[in-house]
């Protein structure tokens, strides 16, 4: 008997559909390719494909079975939170902004009024924020689809194996990069291996690569406990590879996340003893924190986990403490609806309290960033919805009789626990590959938790297509459309200032720059542009105050000398100018002191160097160099010996010991400096000159050989020949003196310099 045509079509359709979790899981592997989809456009692309797959899975699942109240409450809460997050894209007037974003309303309102805008969205960055909103809607579809389709341990185990494949591939890529000496990700990314945050595999930040490995380790352990034979050994092998990846990443957080991934196993599989062990471990940790203090505890834990994770003098939070404090202030500035998706980095600039020349696009704490961007209410709905899914999964796992299903559920809960632990100190949920893995894990946890009966619920089948349509519309508009400009666009204000200045509108140009300094108050260059314009109008005193703000904002080290010199230019008493413009910071004070010294203000220069050395002992070397230039040799030696060692400090100490006739001590310090100054061509040359001069004073022929060698290398011929003149005169060697004078005269003639003196200058260069 032939099968009806519609039945055949239905079977042909449902055959591939029932394996939709396979391409959805493999998408995690694809997401690793473009640098682990750390940038919003790539994340939006991955999320779009995942959202389509999740929607199809959800429609099919809703037509076949009735979700439980727990599943509806959890996924429905996520959908509600995501939809409410879009309210910030609606335009509002200034009065509404003041009620919803009280801490931002004044500056945002002034910027909008300057541009002639009356109504604008609450979201600070509408374009990229819309992309983030579309991404969040897509992840809700993934959770819903996976929860309705991945409903047995066989399917959950299949998805777990595919994720383990992604993890092994990640570690292989990272190992290949390291073994082959890759200068950047995929050899083409432009992100160098020696950057402040070196890469690990395709992840820009090694913390995230390590967390990815840590999140997959529970799945490998669960699969090995569930399966038998070759499958068990393969998953144990994957567990070893992932453990190696965690260590190779050099991330403290990865190891802590890996430990957190074990907690669900102890709670679910360990029974009463496991839960008792967790309680004892938690109590022991709390007691340790209470006894030694949280900072000391974390430092010792860091040194035990990754001894090289903290540089000397670096705080245990590696700068996160300041970010957290400023982020909390941001929450108070917009408690009800937040700053909008992707609004953290825009708002953070206003509340950044530290002058360091760095920015952060993330709070390095997912819950904190969630509250900042979406407000207390929406963040609360997200937390309750996800917490409901996790709590339901834990309770169901404890009650399950099937070991295979219980092990699998414990593994996926372990993945969530690992990422949750990492979310306390970094931002894994802003990485496309990890986002997709977490969404899939939430869906699988809901699906594996016994919660529904078979039966049709066609009335709910419209929900996934609706969310998908919203995500597609918003994402497409943000990607291809022309979204409104950002509310707090510092670059646009600077460009507007230049345009108005070119048009002769000096007042408008000044107003634009003043707004730019309010939008980005810790960026030195906006203050510099404003100071230049104020100086141009003759407001010299006002411009000096503005230059002081520029220098407070910590100019990059390689540009600081020029910035200090510019700030101290202009008519007036140089000491009074320095008092206004120089911040109470060692580097700026040392550079300013050298400028004052060149102007003959020796007392003022010494006062600032004393203060610089008081603030930072490293600047004792600069004080010593200044005292040497003033022929106060004994004081110079006393100042520099208190400074910590280093290239410049050793060079100055060598010169001071030479001048105080401690020739053996000078030789020893100069030899130490040769090793310290290898990476600095200029100071390395100065040290070689100093060492040669000491040898000449010791009547060592090697000193003359060293001078001749430096001359052949093209090093400062006038200075070096002056040394030869002085040496020959002191030795009474008339023939050598005549030859050295002739060579010195020729070198000066070549350089266009008159022969003013025969002796070698006794100077030590400062900053």
Helix (H, G, I), strand (E, B) or coil at 200: strand
Q: What is the percent of the chain where pLDDT is above 70?
A: 87
Radius of gyration of the chain (CA): 33
Helix (H, G, I), strand (E, B) or coil at 82: helix
Split at pLDDT 50, 70, 90, the class of 451 is low
Pairwise pLDDT comparison (327 vs 728), residue with the higher score: 327
DSSP 171: H
pLDDT over 80 at 159, yes or no = yes
Paired residues of 120 in beta bridges? 92
State residue 372's pLDDT score. Answer: 95
State residue 308's pLDDT score. Answer: 67
In the predicted model, what is the mean pLDDT of residues 648-668? Answer: 90
Pairwise pLDDT comparison (694 vs 442), residue with the higher score: 442
Residue with the two structure tokens 């052949």: 712
Pairing of strands 91-92, 65-66: unpaired
634 to 64, 334, 626, 659: CA distances (angstroms): 91, 59, 12, 9
State residue 112's pLDDT score. Answer: 92
In the predicted model, what is the mean pLDDT of residues 63-75? Answer: 84
State residue 56's pLDDT score. Answer: 87
Question: Per-residue pLDDT tens for 591-639?
Answer: 999 999 999 999 999 999 999 999 999 999 999 999 999 989 999 999 9
State residue 679's pLDDT score. Answer: 75
CA distance 327 to 323: 6
pLDDT over 90 at 267, yes or no = no
Of 75, 615, 595, 124, nearest to 338 (Cα)?
A: 124
CA distance 742 to 593: 38
The gap from C-alpha 702 to its chain's centroid, in whole angstroms, comes to 50
Per-residue tokens: 718? 């006038």
282 to 279, 305, 408: CA distances (angstroms): 5, 18, 25
Of 710, 733, 732, 724, nearest to 760 (Cα)?
A: 724
Q: Is the dihedral of CA 185, 189, 190, 195 positive or negative?
A: negative
pLDDT over 90 at 726, yes or no = no
Helix (H, G, I), strand (E, B) or coil at 362: coil
State residue 402's pLDDT score. Answer: 81
Residue 1, classified by CB atoms within 10 Å of its CB into exposed (0-12), middle (13-18) or buried (19+), is exposed
State residue 588's pLDDT score. Answer: 94
Question: Per-residue pLDDT tens for 384-417?
Answer: 999 999 999 999 888 887 888 899 999 999 999 9
Pairwise pLDDT comparison (729 vs 716), residue with the higher score: 729
In the predicted model, what is the mean pLDDT of residues 363-373? Answer: 93
Split at pLDDT 50, 70, 90, the class of 727 is low
CA distance 326 to 320: 10
Of 501, 487, 393, 380, nearest to 447 (Cα)?
A: 393
DSSP 426: S
Split at pLDDT 50, 70, 90, the class of 11 is very low
In the predicted model, what is the mean pLDDT of residues 736-744? Answer: 73
Split at pLDDT 50, 70, 90, the class of 5 is very low
Per-residue tokens: 557? 């080290």
Split at pLDDT 50, 70, 90, the class of 767 is very low
CA distance 431 to 433: 6
State residue 480's pLDDT score. Answer: 66
Per the prediction, the chain carries an average pLDDT of: 84
Split at pLDDT 50, 70, 90, the class of 500 is very high
């Amino acid at each position: 008997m032939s099968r009806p045509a519609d039945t055949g079509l239905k079977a042909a359709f449902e055959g591939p559909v029932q394996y939709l979790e396979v391409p959805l899981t493999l998408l995690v592997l694809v997401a690793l390719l473009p640098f682990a989809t750390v940038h919003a456009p790539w994340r939006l692309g991955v999320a779009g494909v995942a959202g389509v797959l999740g929607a199809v899975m959800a429609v099919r699942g809703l037509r076949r079975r009735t979700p439980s109240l727990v599943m509806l409450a959890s996924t429905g809460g996520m959908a509600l939170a995501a939809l409410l997050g879009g309210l910030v894209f609606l335009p509002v007037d200034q009065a509404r902004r003041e009620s919803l974003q009280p801490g931002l309303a004044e500056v945002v309102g002034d910027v909008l009024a300057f541009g002639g805008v009356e109504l604008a969205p609450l979201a600070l960055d509408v374009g990229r924020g819309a992309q983030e909103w579309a991404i969040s809607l897509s992840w809700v579809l993934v959770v819903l689809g996976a929860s309705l389709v991945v409903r047995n341990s066989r399917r959950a185990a299949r998805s777990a194996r595919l994720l383990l494949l992604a993890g092994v591939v990640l570690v292989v890529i990272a190992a290949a990069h390291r073994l082959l000496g890759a200068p950047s990700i995929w050899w083409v990314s432009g992100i160098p291996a020696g950057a402040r945050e070196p890469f690990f595999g395709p992840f820009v930040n090694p913390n995230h690569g390590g967390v990815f490995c840590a999140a997959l380790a529970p799945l490998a352990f669960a699969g090995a406990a569930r399966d038998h034979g070759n499958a068990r050994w393969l998953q144990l092998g994957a567990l070893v590879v992932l453990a190696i990846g965690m260590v190779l990443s050099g991330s403290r957080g990865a190891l802590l996340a890996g430990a957190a991934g074990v907690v669900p196993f102890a709670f679910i599989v360990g029974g009463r003893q496991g839960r008792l062990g967790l309680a004892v471990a938690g109590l022991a940790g709390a007691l340790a924190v209470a006894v030694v203090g949280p900072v000391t505890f974390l430092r010792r834990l860091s040194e035990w986990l990754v001894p090289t994770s903290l540089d000397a003098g670096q705080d245990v939070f590696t700068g996160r403490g300041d970010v957290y404090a400023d982020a909390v202030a941001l929450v108070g500035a917009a408690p009800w609806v937040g700053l909008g998706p992707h609004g953290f980095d825009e708002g953070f600039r206003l509340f950044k309290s530290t002058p360091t020349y760095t920015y952060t696009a993330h709070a390095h704490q997912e819950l904190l960033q969630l509250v900042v961007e979406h407000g207390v209410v929406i963040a609360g709905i997200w937390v309750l919805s996800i917490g409901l899914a996790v709590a339901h999964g834990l309770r169901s796992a404890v009650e399950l009789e099937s070991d295979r299903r219980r092990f699998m559920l414990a593994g996926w809960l372990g993945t969530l626990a690992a990422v949750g632990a990492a979310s306390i100190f970094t931002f894994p949920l802003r990485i496309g590959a990890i986002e997709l893995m977490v969404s899939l894990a939430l869906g699988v946890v809901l699906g594996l938790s016994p919660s529904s009966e078979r039966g049709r619920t066609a009335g709910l089948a419209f929900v996934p297509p609706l969310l998908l349509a919203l995500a597609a519309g918003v994402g497409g508009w943000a990607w291809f459309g022309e979204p409104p400009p950002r509310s707090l666009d510092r670059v646009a204000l600077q460009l507007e200032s230049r345009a108005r200045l070119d048009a002769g509108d000096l007042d408008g140009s000044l107003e634009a720059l003043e707004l730019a300094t309010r939008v980005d108050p810790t960026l030195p260059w906006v203050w510099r542009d404003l100071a230049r314009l104020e100086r141009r109008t003759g407001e010299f005193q006002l411009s000096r105050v503005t230059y002081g703000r520029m220098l407070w904002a910590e100019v990059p080290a390689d540009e600081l000398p020029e910035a200090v010199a510019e700030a101290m230019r202009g008519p007036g008493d140089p000491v009074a100018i320095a008092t206004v413009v120089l911040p109470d910071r060692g580097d700026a004070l040392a550079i300013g002191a050298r400028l004052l010294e060149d102007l003959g203000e020796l007392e003022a220069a010494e006062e600032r160097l004393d203060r610089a050395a008081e603030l930072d002992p490293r600047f004792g070397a600069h004080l010593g160099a200044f005292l040497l230039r003033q022929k106060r040799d004994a004081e110079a030696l006393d100042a520099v010996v208190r400074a910590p060692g280093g290239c410049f400090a050793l060079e100055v100490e060598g010169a001071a010991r030479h001048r105080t006739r401690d020739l053996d001590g000078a030789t020893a310090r100069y030899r130490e400096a040769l090793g310290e100054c290898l990476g600095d061509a200029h100071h390395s040359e100065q040290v070689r000159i100093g060492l040669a001069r000491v040898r000449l004073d010791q009547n060592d022929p090697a000193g003359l050989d060293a001078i001749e060698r430096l001359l052949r290398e093209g090093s400062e011929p006038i200075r070096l020949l002056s040394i030869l003149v002085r040496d020959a005169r002191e030795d009474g060697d008339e023939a050598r003196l005549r030859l050295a004078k002739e060579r010195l005269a020729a070198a000066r003639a070549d350089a266009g310099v008159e022969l003013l003196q025969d002796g070698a200058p006794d100077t030590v260069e400062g900053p």
